[in-house]
Amino acid sequence: MQQRPLGKTGPLVSALGLGCMGMSDLYGPSDRAESIATIHAALDVGINLLDTGDFYGMGHNEMLIAEALAGGRRDGAIISVKFGGMRDPAGNFVGFDTRPVAIRNFVAYSLKRLNVDHIDIYRPARLDPNVPIEDTVGAIADLIKAGYISHIGLSEVGSETTRRAAAVHPIADLQIEYSLISRGIETGILQTCRELGIGITAYGVLSRGLISGHWSKDRKIERDFRAHSPRFQGDNLDRNLALVEALRAVAEAKGVSVAQITIAWVAAQGNDIVPLIGARRRDRLAEAIGALKVELTAADLAAIEQAMPKGAASGERYASEQMAMLDSEKA
């Protein structure tokens, strides 16, 4: 397994990370045994970065990872945890809380659910508008001194917030959506991270399955986060799937799958970028791992750009109320 440093201060991680959210939440039912088998398969091939959030399934995802890492597998894993997302008993998101006192509470519960003595990377899931980022990062830095956390990460914040955070404590990585149809970080955020020596862990590289090559217009998504995503709605879906078909021609000419060429494109944007793959099954994981063998030439990159040009996506990546919560989307 290829490895990449996560920024200039973070750990050495596998060239692909495993995003575990879908094993517990937001993408419809999942199979517990298959989820654990998928985590084991990832670890067995050298994928060591496991990404989760304490609010994924209201703690279920952390407990699932704990079960998967039982029996001596913890030493081979780097666990990245997002915190701060607040949810009600129905599963609705009701805000964010990154106050220092809340952070100490959140980390205590995560350590217990994960059954670990420390968390490798800890990050606020979103910028809390009521708490200065300096206070949030400072509180995590105190937990580093106490031995409960190893590194600090950020998620979905813009350049100004990133700079303010890095002035308090070194930041290992920024976790942010990045794919062929979500390229907002290219207009400043990526450059800021590179200037500061902060790595990128890119989620949504397949745009929640939309550009995986496996999505069907007729797929039912009633009990699924994607039912509320503008890119999966009406004419937007038709136009986005037409882009996928154009990309499929490029992938087939290369002898790879659509998902593989899409993942390979993200990985090719720099050695400081680690794509997170939200595979819930071993077959999808195996397909994603195959992307690491895909070498994209200048001609390939040009063909990909022609098939799926920057800004070609129809619809925003989140619904409007969620977009308003993203510091990364602010000018």
* Average pLDDT for the chain: 93
Of 65, 70, 146, 142, which is closest to residue 110 (Cα–Cα)? 65
Q: Is 80 exceeded by the pLDDT of residue 225?
A: no
Of 173, 194, 152, which is closest to residue 276 (Cα–Cα)? 173
The per-residue pLDDT for range 127-143, each reduced to its tens digit, is 999 999 999 999 999 99
Q: Is 80 exceeded by the pLDDT of residue 21?
A: yes
How many domains is the chain partitioned into structurally?
Answer: 1
pLDDT of residue 29: 78
Q: Which residues are known to be catalytic?
A: 56
Kindly state the percentage of the chain with pLDDT values over 70.
98
Confidence of residue 257 (pLDDT cuts 50, 70, 90): very high
8 A C-beta contact, residue 311 and residue 240 = no
Q: Containing domain of residue 162, as a range? A: 3-329
Out of 8-12, 24-28, 315-319, give the one with best mean pLDDT.
Answer: 8-12
Confidence of residue 325 (pLDDT cuts 50, 70, 90): confident
User: What's 103's domain CATH number?
Assistant: 3.20.20.100
SS (H, E, C) the chain: CCEEECCCCCCEEECCEEECHHHCCCCCCCCHHHHHHHHHHHHHCCCCEEEEECCCCCCHHHHHHHHHHCCCCHHHCEEEEEECEEECCCCCEEEECCCHHHHHHHHHHHHHHHCCCCEEEEEECCCCCCCCHHHHHHHHHHHHHCCCEEEEEEECCCHHHHHHHHHHCCCCEEEEECECCECHHHHCHHHHHHHHCCEEEEECCCCCCCCCCCCCCCCCCCCCHHHHCHHHCHHHHHHHHHHHHHHHHHHHHHCCCHHHHHHHHHHCCCCCEEEEECCCCHHHHHHHHHHHHCCCCHHHHHHHHHHCCCCCCCCCCCCHHHHCCCHHHCC
C-beta atoms surrounding 146 within 10 Å: 11
d(CA 144, CA 162): 19
Confidence of residue 241 (pLDDT cuts 50, 70, 90): very high
What predicted TM-score, i.e. pTM, was given to this entire model? Answer: 0.93
8 A C-beta contact, residue 84 and residue 128 = yes
